[in-house]
A and B are shown apart, each in its own frame.
Chain A
């Protein structure tokens, strides 16, 4: 059936400074993959900064990711029935005074791009904050992953700005990764029109 209705979508408004009340105070999600989930375990520290390089203490970060085989726990993924039941793939946290929040998860597998190619392992990230009128969407990739250079989505990003999408391993603690998000300024993170 062809549907000819075309309604104007409801526009976005800022999440404001008090979102904790409805979103993260009693309904934050720090663990995207339980202890029984397959795959390489990660402790991912995200830190977010404003245009002057100051940490943002009132942001909310959401993550959506695939399981260790690159499958999404969602009906639009034809492989969803085989998805790792211990990997929900969803997390959200408010940042603390240092602009940081830390998620427990696993390294996702490669997700098909649609044309037969495979994307590099990545996390889909939404940023909400006071002063952010519309959700900012970005992706996090893993520094040093040989799949990065063959990823058709990553290839859309100008080479000079690709580094802004990289998480880096903590040299002191195996399994710890760090990802910085800069909303503006010299190191502005790449944000996507999804």
Chain B
């Protein structure tokens, strides 16, 4: 039996603690007992190889999933999925979902008084290539109100779901846009105590990614946990 090489634990990873009362929904949904540290076994260093067989071109272009084009500012979102050692995470599923340009989700539970767009669902998926690269075309989502506190608005964001290579690397997060004035007022963004970790969630405008006469480009690299160095590497 070969020895299991564990994934790194980042003491100051910048993740929020579960309970963050300014985000009201955490109060009844956050565990109060401390987490129990689980040394990694095969259960944690393996994970599903999922989503590889059913991805179409329309899945990576959210502006081409309907008869017409959605309204809004067309954008390209691209980047790399890396581990914490800077190594690419290849052939791994990236799922995204978002509101339309008016800040409305194509979802029965979204009752915001903003128009739905018949040409925009707001869901996509893509596999990273052998260098960990991914790219989507979409429209820039709008900010939208929520009822967390008085006059509460979420900054514009795109939800990301990533599997990485193992159960230990599973990550669901959100991508934001640079310079959003709502950052200081958003408890979900502010729940992350570490400033450098918060900056990881903000995409960068990229003129090289921007296509003339077509769409602005935003770069968003995602860093997943990597494995400890193997005894051989040390």
List A residues at the B interface (Cβ < 8 Å): 1-3, 5-23, 25-27, 29, 50-52, 54, 56, 58, 62, 64, 66, 72-74, 76-78, 88-90, 111-114, 116, 119, 122, 124, 126, 128-137, 139, 153, 156-157, 161, 183-184, 188-194
The answer to whether A133 and B46 touch across the interface, beta carbons within 8 angstroms, is no
- State the interface size on chain B (CB cutoff 8 A): 87
Closest to B38 in A: A192
- Residues in A neighbouring B33, C-beta threshold 8 A: 161, 188, 190-191
Known contacts A7-B223, A112-B1, A114-B41: A21-B234 contact under CB 8 Å: no
Shortest C-beta distance, A110 to chain B (Å), equals 11
How many residue pairs between the two chains, A and B, have CB atoms under 8 Å in the bound complex? 259
Choose, from B17-25, B68-76, B204-212, the stretch at the interface.
B17-25
Question: Provided the pairs A7-B85, A8-B200, A119-B41 are in contact, do residues A193 and B172 lie with their beta carbons within 8 angstroms?
Answer: no
How far, in angstroms, from A113 to B201 measured CA to CA in the complex?
35
How would you classify the secondary structure of chain B's contact residues: helix, strand, loop or mixed? loop
Q: B229 and A3: CB pair below 8 A?
A: yes
Q: List 7 A-B contacts (CB under 8 A).
A: A11-B15, A21-B106, A64-B47, A126-B167, A129-B29, A131-B26, A132-B18
Q: In the complex, which residues of chain A have a beta carbon less than 8 angstroms from the beta carbon of B122?
A: 21
Q: Looking across the interface, which residue of chain B has its beta carbon closest to that of A127?
A: B29
Is B67 among interface residues, defined by CB-CB distance under 8 A?
no
Check A13 against B188 for contact (C-beta < 8 Å). Answer: yes
Known A23-B161, A184-B31; contact A64-B167, beta-carbon cutoff 8 A: yes
**Is A22 a contact of B123 with CB atoms below 8 Å?**
yes
Cα-based distance from A5 to B28 in the complex (angstroms): 39
Residue from B30, B51, B225 within 8 A of A131 (CB atoms): B30
Q: Which residue of A lies closest to B173 (CB)?
A: A13
Closest partner residue, chain B, to A129 (CB atom): B29
B35 touches A52 (CB 8 A): no
Instruction: Using known A-B contacts A6-B85, A9-B223, A194-B44, determine if residue A131 contacts B172 with beta carbons closer than 8 Å.
Output: no
Encode B121-140 as 1/0 by CB contact (under 8 A) with A. 11111000000000000000
Q: Is the CB of A134 within 8 A of B41?
A: no
Which residues on the B side are within 8 Å of A21 (C-beta)?
97, 105-107, 121-123
Beta-carbon contact of A8 and B13 below 8 Å: yes
Is B171 close to A, CB under 8 A? yes
Cβ B51 vs Cβ A78 within 8 A: no
B162-178 toward A: CB 8 Å interface, digit per residue (1/0)? 00011110111110000
